[in-house]
A and B are shown apart, each in its own frame.
Chain A
Amino acid sequence: MINQKFIPFFVILGGSILLLISFGIRHSFGLYLLPISNFLGTGREVFGLASALQVLMIGIGSPLFGGLSDKIGAGKASFLGIVITLLGLLWMSNVETSFDIIASQTLYGLGAAGCGTAVVLGAVGRSVNAENRTLFLGIVMAAGSFGQFIMVPFAGYLIEISGWSQSLIYLFYIASIMLIFSFLLNISGKSEASKAGTNQTIKEALKEAFQSKSFNLLSLGFFVCGFHVTFVAVHFPAFIEDQNLPFWVGGWSLALIGIFNVVGTLYFGYLGDRFSKKNLLALLYFLRSLLFFIFIFLPKTELTVLLFACILGVLWLSTVPLTSGIITVLFGPYYMSLLYGIAFFSHQIGSFFGSWMGGRLFDIYGSYEIMWWCSVGLGLIASLMHLPIKEEIAPRLAIKI
């Protein structure tokens, strides 16, 4: 029997390691674009399509694994996700045709949903007390951000010393570490908080969520987060190159986004326990819009681009602890993985459009200006959409209290 006091610690530790490794590996795949495309002789389009499908599969898989996690336990659901992830990596290291790369990335995307934010944040949300919940969600997300920060250069180093195929085998070994830590997530089911709302079925939980105006607005707002983040992540390095800035600016920009992403996620997680989460989200989207708006008119020098990267880093994934925190406030922690998974699906659709529209509009107009303006507009809409959200617990939970 585990002491209730230690449950949050073990779940946060397990969740942090899972997100650190899975986020890190997933964000390293960009490094494989050129070597795998060259090996297959297919051009970049096939790998680009495979990556887009991977993003979509994470979105589709998140509510599925979320529901599974809420029913059978986060540890078992994430274990299944990790096994699928490992199969995807193994397949990817042995690609011979275009079909192999598309199928292996799709499989990896499905598995990554199982050991991603929906399952992990749900487990953490169930294990910690309500007073510091957003901060703890922020800590786990910061670990994921840190994973991106350290794993990407490490994967680059592995490719350099051992070649792309062998480096994927090394990543397979690193990913298998997650299997051990997935067991820690199982403990979340033993916490007191997880027992609230257990008499509700999945169907009832979904009906309640979709009838809630606040949940729908929150999910729509999350679409904009995905749009912003993926547009910048995919197209910003190319944008910097178009501005004829020195080559080091691209690398440093991504590094600064990584540093301030960790800081921002922790900071907004901390603020979420002290101020209204929906007001913080409205502020966050407004600040993103303001930042994009100012950036459009600023001369693109080394300093302005790097400063933009720093501030954007603060606002990068800070939406996640606040969004997941609001979902827990609205519906309680029991079906958090499922409901966050649905909101995250909206995020991934936004990601798809951010990546695809960026390339499409650039091909048509020869610049990213329209995309920057779209980002400004969508940010303002998302900011306004968060204002009517009511951070009130569902009536069935209020009656219990």
Chain B
Amino acid sequence: MAIIIVSTALFLCWIWIEITLIVVNKLSSHSFNFNKNLHKNFSWILRFIVILMFLMVIIYMYFFDYGKFSDAIQFCLGAIR
């Protein structure tokens, strides 16, 4: 349940950011130094960062349990044990 609510909040906020990206595109398109490709690339970088960091948090929240994590390290590197 938690992950659905968190994803909804993230999605709603992202809609707001997408709207602002469109507005920025419209407002800047008449500017002489506006680079449409740069804007497009920048938008994709932002999307990539959000998805990557969201996945990192999910991994941390659900799999980075202290006890389990140290067990996993000991299991993978049996020499430690």
Contacts and interface: CB of A to CB of B under 8 A. Distances in A.
A260 B10 CA distance: 9
Interface of B: 2, 5-6, 8-10, 12-13, 16-17, 24, 27-28, 31, 33-34, 42, 45-46, 49-50, 53-54, 57, 60-61, 64, 66, 69-70
Interface of A: 131, 149, 153, 157, 160-161, 246, 248, 251-252, 255-256, 258-260, 262-263, 266-267, 270-271, 274-275, 302-303, 306-307, 309-311, 314
B61 A251 contact: yes
Contacts of A246: 2
Contact of B66 (A131, A161, A267, A314): A161
Is chain A's interface secondary structure helix, strand, loop, or mixed overall?
helix
Contacts of B8: 303
Is chain B's interface secondary structure helix, strand, loop, or mixed overall?
helix
A153 B64 contact: yes
A161 B33 CA distance: 53
Contacts, number: 71
A302 B5 CA distance: 7
Given A161-B70, A259-B54, A270-B42, A306 B9 contact: yes
B66 A160 contact: yes
A256 B50 contact: no
A252 B13 CA distance: 15
Contacts of B24: 271, 274
A307 B45 CA distance: 22
A153 B53 CA distance: 14
B28 A306 contact: no
Nearest to A157: B66
B66 A311 contact: no
A124 B45 CA distance: 21
